[in-house]
A and B are shown apart, each in its own frame.
Chain A
Amino acid sequence: MPGRRGEGRHAKAWIEGVACSLDAAVEAALARLRESRHPLFAGLGCDMDGTRSLVRLARRVGASIDHLSSTATGLELAVARDMGSFFTTPGEAVARADTLLVLGSALDGTGTELLDRVFETAPKLAARGAPRRVIWVGRPLKGKARSSRLEITSLQVPASQIATLLAALRARLAGRPVGKASISASRLQAVVEKLREAQFGVAIWCSPPQEVLAIEALTGLVRDLNGHTRFSCVPVCAADNAAGVAMALTWLTGFPSNIDFSQGQPEHDPWRFDAARLARSGEADLALWVSAYRDHWPDWADEVPMIALTSRSDGARRPHALVQIAVGTPGVDHDTVDYSSASGHLAFRRATARETIPSVAAVVDRFCAALIEPGKALR
C-alpha cells in the first residue's frame, strides 16, 4: 500500500531461531497462515494501523483476536455497558476539576503521569477559586500527592473494602442510613459534603479486574452526584495501546475485544475467544503474537505454534517461535496513531528515529497483499 509507514530497510527476522531475510520470514509465515484451520491473533500490542491491518487479515483467514489486556479492559467496559456512565477527559480534569476522587489502589505508570499533572497545576477553568480538593481512596498516598499543597482527604482502606466504602458514600448522599462502614459516620458525612460541594468533580482510577465492584459503586455514586452538581470519570487505561485497540475493534466489528471471524461475521465472547484458552485447549492451531511496544511474551507461548511480531530488543529472539519478525516501536521507528493517555484521544506522533525496521502494519499488509485480492469484497 503506497505511503504506508515504516517499510523497513533494516529488518531482522528469524525462522525457528535462525536469522533470515524479511522476505523469507514473510513467506514462511504465509505458508503457516494458509495451512491453519483456526489461527489466533493475540497480544495485539500495536498501534491503530497495526490493529486495522490485523482485522483485515483476520476477516480473510477467519481468525480469533484478543488483546493482552482484554480481561481488564473488558470488565471495565462491561460496567459502562451494563449501567451507563459519565466520562470526561484528562484535559478537562486538568483545566476544570475542583475536586478529585481518586481510587489509588492500583495507580501506577500512566496513572501517575495524569495525577502529577492534576496535582501540579491549578484548574484554570474552575468556577471555584480555591485549591483542588483531593479525596484519595485506597492505598497510602504516592508521589507528588504527598508533597503537594492540596487539600487532601485520605481514606485508607484495603482494596476489598473500597466498594463498600463507595456504597456507603452513595447511601449517605441519598440521605439513607449506613450500618458498619470502614470509616466513622462523621468522617463519611464530611466526605459526602465535600463531594456535594464540588462544582466540577472528576473520579480517576485505573482498575484491575478484581475491582469491578468498586468501579460499579463509583459509577453509581457519580450518577447520583449529577442529580446535584457536575461530576464525571476518567479511567486511566492499560498499556500497550489497550484503549486504542479496543476503539478500533469496536468500529471495525461492533465489539471491543475477544472476537472471532470464522463464521463470516464477527462474533464476540470473552470466554470462547480468550487467547490463553484457545492456545491451551488446542482449539487454535496457530498464534500470531504481536507486541510492538515492548518485548513481551505470553505464558502460553510454548503451547501453540507461533508467528511473532515483536518489539526489537537485542537478543530477544525466541527460538521456539516458528517465525519471528522484529517490528518497530510506534512513534520511535515509524510515524504512528495510537491512544494518548495525555489527551484521552487518539493522536498522531512522528517517528523519533525513522524507518529502521518495519511496522506491524507493514508486515501484516504483506500478508494481506498475498492473501487478499485488492478491492475484493470480503464476507
Chain B
Amino acid sequence: MIRLAGGRVIDPAHGRDEIVDLWIEGARVVAPPPGGRADENFDVAGKIVMPGAIDIHSHIAGANVNTARLLLPEYHRAHLVRPTRTPLTELGWSTIETGRLYATMGFTTVVEPAIAPHTALHAHLELADTPIIDKAILAVLGNDDFLLSLMREKEGEGAIRDYVGSMLASSRALGVKVINAGAAMAFKHNVRSFGLDDVVPTYGVSSRAIVSALQQAVHALGVPHPLHVHCNNLGLAGNVETALETIAAFDGLPIHLAHLQFYSYGTEGKRGFSSAAARLAEAVNKATHLSIDVGQVMFGQTVTVSSDVLRQFAATGFAHPRKSIIIDGDSNGGGIVPIAYRKSSFTNAVQWAAGLELFLLIEDPRRVFFTTDHPNGAPFTCYPELFALLMDRNLRAAWLDALPKSTLAVTTLPSIAREYSLFEIATMTRSAPAKLLGLSDRGHLGEGALADVAVYHDLKDRAAMFRAAHLVLKNGEMVVRDGDIVRELPGKTLSVTPSYDRAVDRRLDDYYESLYGMSRGLFVVPPEAPGFLGAFEDVPCAT
C-alpha cells in the first residue's frame, strides 16, 4: 500500500480541492484504511496531486506519423551536430520518446485520433511500442467506397450502423473520426475544394449527409465517445462560417469538433484575415451538445500530419522546408506538410491569438480541450507553456508584445482578463476527457479509480511545474521521480467492441475479394497482433 501524504488533491470529478492523504493499493485508489499503515509513504506536503492527464487528440502513431518521421530526419536531435532547441527537435520523434515525454509531464492516457482502418494494425504496433502511457485510436471513416455506396443505394441507418460497428471491431478503435467528410474520395476524382454541402462525384452524397450518418451510427452503437469531426475548409480565411454551420447542422446528438482554432478565421482587416474566435466561442457556449478541442498554434518549426489530403495538397506550396508527402490511401488519404509558425508572421500570430480566445471565451472547461493537435499546431511538449498562458494574463500580454502590432486589430485577446485556475486546468486535462471518452475509472481519484496519479511542485512558473512532474504513478507503480523516468512498463490500448449484425462481415469479405482481390483478413487486428496478450482493454458501450 502506498500513501501520498499531505498533498493538495485537486480532483474535479468529485469537486475536491483539499489537503488530504491519497491511498493506493495495487493498481487502484482505495479508501484510507482504518489505522492504516503504508508500505511506502511519500511526503507530498506543499505539492499538487492530480489524476493522470488524458489527451484526447494527439497524432502520436500510425502510418502518416511514421511518414512524417521519415520525411524530416533533419529535425531529429540525434541527426544534428548541434541541435537547435526547438520543440520539434526536443520531441525525440520515436514511440519510445513519446511515451516517456508524456509520462514526464504527468500524462497517463493519450488518444491517437486519425487512423485509417487499413493501417490500424501498424498503429497498434506503434502504440504497443509507446511505453508507460495507455493509448487508443479513433478510426477514420467517411471516405470509403463501401460506406458511400451504402448511402448512394439508400440502404438505411441499420446497414451503416453495422458497417461502423464492424470497422470499429476490426480496427480495435475507441471511437470514430470523420475528416473533411467525402473530400479524400473527391480528391481522387480531382476535386480541389470541398465544403459541407458539396457532393462526392459518382456517389451523389454530400459531406453533410456523411457526417450525419456517422453521428447517428456512433450513437446507435452506444459508443461512449461522440463522433469526432474534422470539419471542411480547414485553415481558410472566412471558414468560421463553415464551423458555425456545422455546429448548427448536427445539434440533435452529441458531437466533438476537433482543433476548432483552425476554423476560427474571418475575413476582416486590411489583409482579409482575422480572428473570428469570439463569435465561434459564443456559438459553442450555446451549443450544449458540443465539445471541442482547440488545436492551439505555438511558434516554431513543426510538421502538419493530416488525413485531410485535399487540404494538405493545397498547403504543399507553403511547406517549410519545401517538401511534402501526399498519400492516396485505401478509402482514405493523408498529407505530411512541414510548417514553421513564426512570431513575425501576421497570419501565424492571428492563429495563436484565436486559439487562446477560444480557450478563454468558452466558459465551461468541461467542453473545451487543450490540444495543439500535435504536431499540427505545435508538438505536445508545448502543453506546459500553453497551460501557463491560460493561467496568466500578464504572460499573455508579454507574448502579445512580441507579435506584429497589426495582429491586435483583428483579435479580442488583449481584452480578455480570464485566468484558468488549477482546478479548471485539472477539469480540462483530467475529469472532462475521461468523461468524453467513457473511461469511468480514469480522470478522477475516487475509490476504485485507476491509480494514475501526477504530483507536481507548486511552482510560480506554471510551465516548469507541468513540464516535469515530481512523481507519476501509472497503475499504482512509480514511473517518474523528479522528472526522470524510473520504470518503462508497457501500457494498454483501449478499444470498444460494439454489438452489430455480423452479416456485414461476410458482405465485407466478399467486397474485398471482389474490389481489391485481397482477403479482408489482411486488415483485421487480432488481439495478439501487438506481440503480447493483454495489449487491449475493453471500454464498455452503452446497451
Contact = CB atoms under 8 A, between A and B. Distances in A.
Given A230-B188, A345-B522, A376 B488 contact: yes
A3 B319 contact: no
B531 A80 contact: no
Interface in B305-319: 313, 316, 319
A174 interface: no
Contact of B76 (A77, A80, A88, A255): A255
A347 B121 contact: yes
A343 B523 contact: yes
24 contacts: A2-B533, A52-B531, A77-B70, A82-B323, A83-B323, A84-B319, A92-B328, A117-B517, A199-B189, A230-B190, A230-B328, A247-B66, A248-B129, A250-B66, A250-B69, A251-B66, A251-B129, A254-B76, A254-B94, A337-B529, A343-B518, A347-B121, A376-B487, A377-B485
A268 B328 contact: no
A206 B79 CA distance: 28
Interface in A250-271: 250-256, 265-268
A130 interface: no
Contacts of A154: none
Contact of A84 (B129, B190, B316): B316
A252 B188 contact: no
A51 to B, nearest CB: 10
Interface in A57-94: 77, 80-89, 91-92, 94
Interface in B7-49: none
Interface stretch (A33-41, A119-127, A280-288, A309-317): A119-127
What 8 pairs across the A-B complex have the smallest Cβ distances?
A3-B533, A84-B323, A254-B93, A88-B328, A347-B522, A377-B488, A377-B485, A91-B516
Contacts of A267: 78
Contacts of B532: 1-4
A346 interface: yes
A3 B516 CA distance: 33
Given A4-B532, A127-B201, A88 B329 contact: yes
Nearest to B528: A3
A153 B95 CA distance: 45
A250 B70 contact: yes
A88 B313 CA distance: 14
Interface string A336-355: 01001011011110000000
A182 interface: no
Given A2-B533, A92-B330, A343-B522, A84 B71 contact: yes
Contacts, number: 183
Given A49-B531, A52-B129, A255-B76, A125 B145 contact: yes
A218 to B, nearest CB: 15
A210 interface: no
A255 B73 contact: yes
Contacts of A376: 487-488
A163 to B, nearest CB: 20
Nearest to B485: A377
A5 interface: yes
B400 interface: no
A135 B316 CA distance: 28
Given A88-B328, A347-B523, A251 B126 contact: yes
A48 interface: yes
A333 interface: no
A226 interface: yes
Chain B's interface size range is 35 or more
| Count class of interface residues, chain A | 35 or more
A317 B531 CA distance: 29
Nearest to B92: A254
Nearest to A348: B529
Contacts of B129: 52, 248, 251-252
B533 A345 contact: no
B314 to A, nearest CB: 11
Nearest to A200: B188
Contact of B78 (A266, A342, A346): A266
A232 interface: yes
A96 interface: yes
B515 interface: yes
Contacts of A124: 514-515
B121 A4 contact: no
B121 A337 contact: yes
Contacts of B477: 375
A200 B328 CA distance: 10
Contacts of B202: 127
B119 interface: yes
Contacts of A87: 325-328
A335 interface: yes
B223 interface: no
Contacts of A82: 323
Contacts of B313: 226
Interface in A195-233: 199-200, 226, 229-230, 232
A5 B515 contact: no
B122 interface: yes
Contacts of B521: 347-348
Contact of B190 (A86, A229, A248): A229
Given A49-B531, A254-B69, A88 B525 contact: no
B486 interface: yes
B539 interface: no
A347 to B, nearest CB: 4
B94 A342 contact: no
